[in-house]
Amino acid sequence: MKFFYRQMLAFFAVMLTLLVILAVSFTHSTTNMLYRQTWSQLTTDADSLVEDSIQYDISKSSFEGFAAQSLMSNANLLAKQHVHFAIYKPQKNKYYASSEFSPHIGKDDWRQLKAGKTIHRKIDYPKVNRQANGDIQSRVHRNLPMTEIIRPYFDNHRLIAVVAAGTFVSTINDSKRQMLINFMWSTGLAFLCAFFLGYLLSRQLTGRLTKMQKAARSIARGDYDVHVPVKTNDEIDDLGRDFNQMAASLKASQEEIQKQEERRERFMADAAHEMRTPLTTINGILEGLAYDAIPEEDKAHSIKLMQNDTARLIRLVNNTLDAEKIRTNQIVLNRKEFDATAELKNLREQLNKKAAAKDDKLQIDSPQMVVVYADYDRFVQVMFNIITNAIQFTEHGLITISASRLAHGAEFKVADTGIGMNQDQLHQIWDRFYKADRSRMNTQYGESGIGLSIVRQLVKLHGGKIDVQSRPGKGSTFTIFFPDRDYAPQGSAELSTSDQ
């Protein structure tokens, strides 16, 4: 069943239940109230009847009887109000009755009356005089149900009379019916209003859900540019907000996937191109050697060329493998404390030749010993990458490598006076396969655009930080921080997907 109809049905069921409960309790309380009112009126009538008709012997100042004249006029008056009464003597015999009204008073009733209690009866079928006539009398005659009170009267604690006063239940029922009709009209009207209001609310609710449904379908079709309008703070709007957030993050990840895919494609093309150049060189030299076409004095140089090219190929393949290992969380860090200064000196020795080839000067600015807590091989890999980048993008310049101890770890800086980068490039250098200038391919020390992405992820795996500051034409400074044992993440470190 559609949500809208289900809503309406639920609403209808609630309203109906409410109406039935209200009608039942209203009828019950109205009936009780009407009876109470009637009994109170009958009591007042009986009291004034006794007051009007009672006669006293003044000399003895004691009860003597009831004045017949007064009883008759009261009987006529009360009969017009559909009230009938009967007076009984304490000896239980009837003294006077209007319209021969004669309620049943049993032994128990007499006991209660003598104890001073007024008896209230909801429905009684009093005995009547069959010969009585007249309209009111004929109703009594027809034995119609009556409600009555039977009330004792005392003089000096002596029971002098019992007065029974009754009226037709039909009078009460008439009032009850009238009140019920009024009640039904007003609740019916309220029910209609509520139903209309419920209809509007349900329509509004389903309208909002339909909007969300449409948006979900758009997303399913791959269109992430959807926005569900949200105005209030209720659960549906909360859901709408979550939905918008989900659409935004889906869009972002879709864009990221596309970006990654484009870079991967470009990388594959670049890598294939990169590999073909050294492979062609190696193949040419091998053919030359095979056909003895290379003069003896050039052979050593040719072998050197082959060595360089195979080294480039190995580096390219290693970088690709590393990137994949990091992506699949396969890197296991074997951390220990060691002297970083000594290792930086080693690196300078290794890279001095490359720096000299670019007319760069490599200098180390570090205390005698700087202890770092890291995986030795990965630390070397990180520093090697950053220093080769500095050499790669600096000509006739100075590259300063500094190391220092901070409160919770060791900090390293590699500053160059090379070409630098603008803000836009700075934001992207950590992305995989990013190269600020694609025409810089085929350079001697870097070509895939993978190096910094691997470096950043390795530093993050250590729980460290890497940062860069750069100005175009002025140079760049990379700052790397490795935390000490107590501040580094323990166990097998893992990268979140956003870091990969």
Nearest approach in angstroms of CB 320 to ligand ATP is: 9
- Please enumerate in sequence order all residues whose Cβ is within 8 A of that of 331, keeping only pairs 6 or more positions apart, or say none: 325, 378, 458, 461, 493
Give the residue among 203, 137, 163, 201 at the shortest CA–CA distance from 71. Answer: 163
> Does residue 476 bind Mg ion (CB under 5 A)?
no
> Does residue 274 bind ligand ATP (CB under 6 A)?
no
Q: Which of residues 440-459 bind ligand ATP (CB under 6 A)?
A: 446-453
- Nearest-10 Cα torsion for 489, 490, 493, 495: -20
Closer CB to Mg ion, residue 103 or residue 451?
451
In 376-463, at which residue ranges do the beta strands (DSSP E only) sit? Answer: 398-406, 409-416
DSSP labels for 222-255?
T---------S-SHHHHHHHHHHHHHHHHHHHHH
Size of the site for ligand ATP (CB under 6 A): 24
Nearest approach in angstroms of CB 259 to ligand ATP is: 15
Residue 155 is classified by DSSP as E
- Name the binder of 418 from ligand ATP, Mg ion, none, CB < 5-8 A by kind: ligand ATP
135, two tokens: 């309209």
User: Binding pattern to Mg ion, positions 417-446, x when CB under 5 A?
Assistant: -----------------------------x
Return d(Cα 302, Cα 281) in angstroms, integer. 9
Place of tokens 């104890």: 115
Q: Is 100 left (phi over 0), alpha (psi -120 to 50) or beta?
A: left
Q: What length does the chain have?
A: 500
Closer CB to ligand ATP, residue 81 or residue 318?
318
Three-state SS at 161 = strand
- Name the binder of 45 from Mg ion, ligand ATP, none, CB < 5-8 A by kind: none
> Does residue 477 bind ligand ATP (CB under 6 A)?
no
Closer CB to Mg ion, residue 389 or residue 402?
389
> Does residue 110 bind ligand ATP (CB under 6 A)?
no
Sign of CA dihedral 252, 254, 257, 262: negative
Residue 118 is classified by DSSP as P
Return d(Cα 154, Cα 84) in angstroms, integer. 21
CB burial of 25-40 (b: ≥16 within 10 Å; e: otherwise) equals eeeeebbeebbeebbe
Binding-site member from 42, 263, 476, 483 for ligand ATP (CB under 6 A)? 476
Residue 87 is classified by DSSP as E
Closer CB to Mg ion, residue 74 or residue 319?
319
Taking CB atoms, the residue at the shortest distance from ligand ATP is: 451
Task: Say how many C-beta atoms besides its own lie within 10 A of residue 203's C-beta.
Answer: 13
User: Binding pattern to ligand ATP, positions 316-335, x when CB under 6 A?
Assistant: ---x----------------
Closer CB to ligand ATP, residue 34 or residue 429?
429
Which listed range, 85-93, 201-209, 248-256, 431-439, lies at the site for ligand ATP (CB under 6 A)?
431-439
Taking CB atoms, the residue at the shortest distance from Mg ion is: 451
Nearest approach in angstroms of CB 391 to Mg ion is: 10
Q: Which of residues 380-399 bind Mg ion (CB under 5 A)?
A: 389
- Name the binder of 409 from Mg ion, ligand ATP, none, CB < 5-8 A by kind: none
Which listed range, 183-191, 220-228, 298-306, 411-419, lies at the site for ligand ATP (CB under 6 A)?
411-419
Q: Which long-range contacts (CB under 8 A, 24 or more apart) does 113-116 make?
A: 113/150, 113/151, 113/152, 113/159, 113/162, 114/152, 114/159, 116/152, 116/154
Task: Say how many C-beta atoms besides its own lie within 10 A of residue 493's C-beta.
Answer: 16
- Name the binder of 149 from ligand ATP, Mg ion, none, CB < 5-8 A by kind: none
Binding-site member from 152, 451, 463, 475 for Mg ion (CB under 5 A)? 451
Three-state SS at 436 = coil
Closer CB to ligand ATP, residue 393 or residue 481?
393
Closer CB to ligand ATP, residue 349 or residue 395?
395
> Does residue 230 bind ligand ATP (CB under 6 A)?
no
Return d(Cα 391, Cα 359) in angstroms, integer. 9
Closer CB to Mg ion, residue 451 or residue 475?
451
Binding-site member from 149, 421, 458, 488 for ligand ATP (CB under 6 A)? 421
Closer CB to ligand ATP, residue 15 or residue 436?
436
Closer CB to Mg ion, residue 446 or residue 483?
446
Which residues bind to Mg ion, rule: CB under 5 A? 389, 446, 451
Which residues bind to ligand ATP, rule: CB under 6 A? 319, 389-390, 392-393, 416, 418-421, 429, 434-437, 446-453, 476
